[in-house]
Amino acid sequence: MISLGTLIAFGIVSLGMVCSPGPNMIYLISRSIAQGRKAGIISLLGVVLGFGVYLIASMMGLIAIFNTVPVIYTAMKWAGAAYLFWLAWKMIKPGSASILEPVALPIEKPKRLFLMGFITNLLNPKIAVLYISLLPQFQNPEKGSLLAQSAILGLTQILISFTVNLLIVLTASQIASWFGKRPTWLKAQRWIMSGVLAGLAVKLAVQRR
């Protein structure tokens, strides 16, 4: 099976990706601030279901499909990079607001919150890259079933992401309140997050299949 060292290395990669700003973080923070922790947790459960879909797809041979028809991967890669660039621009365009600033979002029902969290994660290019490009690099055919290895690695990533995102949901209001009293920091946060998103977009665009 997977060695402890490999599992730890993959866990570090997963932690780094979930801690970097992206669509999931933006959605969860915005929803938690606008509608409260309960709404944030329901949205997070939808996000987790999205992880599950990617894990199952990975276990069923999604990688083989992309290797067989590389144009599909290329199209998805460029679409993901464009989406990240759009998010980066949205952060700093004239009249834009930080995700830590309270906004008047419509109050959504639990079913819609769950669905929005699921769709946000399903269309998240960072997660697609994680399962399509990174996860296979931690698998070793000599260590046993690749199916079992995919399951172990995927569940590790889901557990780490759930834990970090839950902390984000539970502390979003306090973080927003701290930044709200410090407008300079709020502006800096927008530019830093925009830079990170743009960097992820460039990295995704130049990444080889």
Q: What is the pLDDT of residues 94-145, one digit of tens each?
A: 766 555 555 556 788 999 999 999 998 988 877 877 777 667 778 777 877 8
- Output the CA torsion 157→58→84→115 (10° steps): -80
Cα–Cα nearest to 168, from 30, 6, 12, 2 = 30
CA atoms within 13 A on the CB side of 77: 19
Return the minimum-mean-pLDDT range out of 48-52, 95-99, 166-170, 180-184.
95-99
Least confident of 54-68, 69-83, 147-161, 178-192: 178-192
**40/31 Cα distance (integer angstroms):** 6
Residue with tokens 């700093």: 92
Query: What is the predicted pLDDT for the residue at 190?
Result: 66
Q: Which pair of structure tokens corresponds to residue 127?
A: 């997660």
Percent of all residues in the chain with a pLDDT value above 70, rounded to a whole number: 72
Distance, in Å, from the CA atom of 68 to the CA atom of 73, rounded to the nearest integer, reads: 10
Contact yes or no for 77/204 (Cβ under 8 A)? yes
149 — pLDDT class (breaks 50, 70, 90): confident
Q: Which of 49-58, 63-72, 122-131 has the lowest mean pLDDT?
A: 63-72
Please give the full DSSP string across 99-128, using - where no structure is assigned.
TTS---PPP--HHHHHHHHHHHHHT-HHHH
